[in-house]
Structure 1
C-alpha cells in the first residue's frame, strides 16, 4: 500500500514514516507544503534506514502530489491546519482513499495541558467535514509519543485507538497500524467517540511531565 504522510516532516509524521518504512513493505511518501523540505526529509529518513541495513525508498512531494499518489493519507499536520489541508488536496483523492487523522487540539496553562475541543466536537470530525463526499476518515495514532516512534531502537508495546464510521476503512487502518511492530490497534467505535480518544493525549503529556522516566509514555489496555 502507498501511504502519504502530509506534514511528514514533523515529529509524529516522521516517526510513523520511519516505522512503516522499517517494519513493512508499504511505500512511504512524505508530503509538505514545501516540496523541497519534503524531499530533504525523505532523504534523511532513507539515510537512517540505510544505517540499519534497511533498503527502503522514501519519496518527498508537495502535499497535493503526495495525496494524489496514495491509498492512505495521514494528516500529520497541526490541528488548526487539518481542515485546510484536506481541502487543499481534495481534488486528488480517489473514492477509495482513506484519510487518517492523528491530530489533537490542546492548550496549556500553568497547571499543564488540556484538551481543546473544537466546535466540530473533535479534530477528527473537522477532517471528516472537510473531506469530499464518499471519502472515509478514520481517527488513529492520536496518543503516541513522537520521540518513541522516531527511535527505532525503542520497543513500542502500546495501543492506538481507532474511531470511524466506515468499517472497511477502519479495517485498512487496522492493518496499517498492526504492521508497525509493537503497536496494537483497538477499535474505539464511531467518529462520535473521537473526543474521548483525543482527550487522552493531554492527560498522557501531563503524566509524562510530572513523573520521572515517563517521557515517552503510551497506553496499553489489559
Structure 2
C-alpha cells in the first residue's frame, strides 16, 4: 500500500513515516507545500533507516503529487492548515482513497494545554466536512508521542483510537496501525465520537509536562 504523509516533514509525519518504513513493506511518500523540503526530509529519513540497517526508498513531492500517488493520505499538518491542505489536493483524491487525520485543536495557556475544537465539533469532523463527499475519513494516531515514534529503538506499547463512519476505511487504517510494532489500534466508533478521542491529547501533554519520567507518555487500555 502507498501512504502519503502530507506535512510529512513535521514531527508526527516523521514519526509515522519512519515507523511504517521500518516495520512494514508499505511505500511511504512525503508531501509538503515545498517539494524541495519534502525531498530533503525524505533523504534524511532514508539515512536514519540506513543507520538501523534498513534500506528503504522514500520519495518527496509537493502535497498534490504525493496525494495523487497514494492509497491512504495522512494529514500530518496542524489544524489551522487542514482546510487549505485538503482543498489543495481535493481533485487528486479518489473514492478508493482514505483520508486520515491525527490533528487536534488545542490552546496553550499558563496552566497547560486545553482542548479547543473547531466549530465542526472536532478536527476529524472538520476534515470530513471539507473532504470530497466520496472520500472516507478516519481519525487516528492522536496522542502519540512524535519523539517516541521517531526513536526506532524505543518500544511503543501504546494504543491508538480509530473513529470513522466508513467501516472499510477504518479497517484499512487499522491494518496500517497494526503494522507498527507495539501500536494497537482500537475502534472507538463513528465520527461523532471524535471529540472525545481528540480531547485526550492535551491531557497526555499536561501529564508529560508535570510528571518526571512521562515525557513520552501514551495510553494502553487493559
**What's the TM-score, normalizing by structure 1?**
0.99
Give the secondary-structure state (helix, strand or coil) at the position aligned to 1:155.
coil
Matches within 5 A, 1:135-150: 135-150=135-150
When the two chains are superposed, the root-mean-square deviation of aligned CA atoms in Å is: 0.5
Partner of 1:95: 95
2:221 maps to what in 1?
221
Report the counterpart of residue 206 of structure 1 in structure 2. 206
Structure-2 residue corresponding to 1:191: 191
SS at match of 1:56: coil
1:60 corresponds in structure 2 to 60
3-state DSSP of counterpart to 2:164: coil
Match of 2:108 in 1: 108
C-alpha separation between the residues in 2 aligned to 1:121 and 1:128? Answer: 11
Greater shift, 86-95 or 32-41, is seen at 86-95
Give distance in 1, aligned partners of 2:45 and 2:110. 36
Are 1:42 and 2:42 matched, yes or no? Answer: yes
Instruction: Decide whether the 8 Å contact of 2:94 with 2:134 is kept in 1.
Output: no
Equivalenced residues, count: 222
Distance 2:56 2:169 in 1: 26
**Cα displacement string for residues 86-132 of structure 1 (whole angstroms, at most 9, x for unaligned residues):** 11100111110000000001001111000011100000011101111
**What SS class does the counterpart of residue 61 from structure 1 fall into?**
strand
Question: Following the alignment from structure 1 to structure 2, what is the Cα–Cα distance between the partners of residues 32 and 138?
Answer: 21
Deviation at 1:143, TM superposition (A): 1.0
2: CA distance, partners of 1:169 / 1:143: 21
Which residues of structure 1 form unaligned runs of 5+? Answer: none
- Secondary structure at the counterpart of residue 4 of structure 2: strand
Query: Where has structure 1 moved over 6 Å in runs of 4 or more?
Result: none
**TM-fit CA distance, 1:55:** 1.1
Name the counterpart of 1:176. 176
- Which residue number in structure 2 is paired with residue 76 of structure 1? 76
**Aligned residues of 2:23 and 2:181 also touching (Cα < 8 A):** yes
Structure 2: tracts of 5 or more residues without a match: none
Find the counterpart in structure 2 of residue 161 from structure 1: 161
Deviation at 1:139, TM superposition (A): 0.1
TM-score, scaled to structure 2? 0.99
For residue 161 of structure 2, give the secondary structure of its aligned residue in structure 1. strand
Contact 2:136 2:166 in 1 (8 A): yes
Give the SS at the match of 1:163. strand
